């Protein structure tokens, strides 16, 4: 087929595959499907989720077994990411809104958290995988006791947003020249 730009076609395919990995993570977390979560990360990935700690995939996924039992439901909504691909590596930023529910805390069983995931990914023989994830909560609303999990720092007492920091700035890879 003449006229097809092979590089542009590969970039489009890679973009879709990366979007699938980011969305697979949200589905896996909410379904409590640990095997599917492993498919999102390299074995040596670095996971830093604001306020909850720094993990490798095994500690994050297997350590999550306790928190899975605490929540009656979660729902993670991921925005369409901005992705920058360079060969076999990529950077991505997407927004998330994550709802957490603990029915035992009725009449206030919900906590909703908004923020962004900054990811670094690599192409592997099994497809794109996250090598580094930094999750930054930028606001929340609801009952902070919902995240009162033994060993996890949790959130401040009042809903709202923490003070603005540079971590919320546009990543340098996104500021490429036209």
* Degrees, nearest 5: CA angle 49-100-58: 40
pLDDT 10s digits, 60-76: 888 766 677 789 999 99
What tokens does 70 get?
Answer: 């605490």
Q: What is the CATH number of the domain that holds 121?
A: 3.10.450.50
20 domain-assigned: yes
121 domain-assigned: yes
178 domain-assigned: no
pLDDT range class, residue 178, cuts 50, 70, 90:
very low
pTM: 0.86
d(Cα 98, Cα 77) in Å, to the nearest integer?
6
pLDDT 10s digits, 113-143: 999 999 999 999 999 999 999 998 888 899 8
What tokens does 38 get?
Answer: 């492993």
pLDDT 10s digits, 75-94: 999 998 999 999 999 999 99
d(Cα 44, Cα 55) in Å, to the nearest integer?
10
Q: How many domains does the chain have?
A: 1
The structure tokens 């977390």 sit at 29
Query: What integer is the mean pLDDT of 90-119?
Result: 95
d(Cα 43, Cα 41) in Å, to the nearest integer?
6
Asked if residues 112 and 142 have their Cβ atoms less than 8 Å apart, the reply is yes
């Amino acid at each position: 087929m003449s006229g097809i730009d092979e590089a542009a076609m590969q970039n489009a395919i890679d973009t879709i595959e990366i979007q699938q990995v980011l969305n697979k993570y949200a589905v896996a977390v909410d379904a409590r499907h640990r095997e599917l979560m492993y498919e999102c990360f390299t074995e040596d990935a670095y996971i830093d989720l604001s306020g909850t700690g720094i993990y490798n995939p095994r500690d994050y996924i297997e350590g999550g077994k306790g928190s899975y039992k605490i929540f009656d439901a979660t729902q993670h909504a991921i925005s369409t990411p901005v992705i920058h691909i360079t060969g076999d590596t990529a950077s991505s930023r997407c927004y998330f809104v994550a709802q957490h529910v603990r029915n035992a805390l009725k009449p206030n069983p919900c906590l909703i958290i908004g923020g962004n995931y900054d990811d670094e990914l690599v192409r592997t023989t099994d497809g794109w995988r996250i090598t580094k994830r930094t999750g930054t909560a930028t606001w929340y609303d609801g009952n902070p006791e919902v995240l009162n999990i033994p060993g996890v720092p949790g959130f401040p007492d009042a809903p709202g947003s923490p003070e603005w920091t540079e971590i919320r700035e546009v990543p340098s890879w996104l500021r490429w020249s036209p």
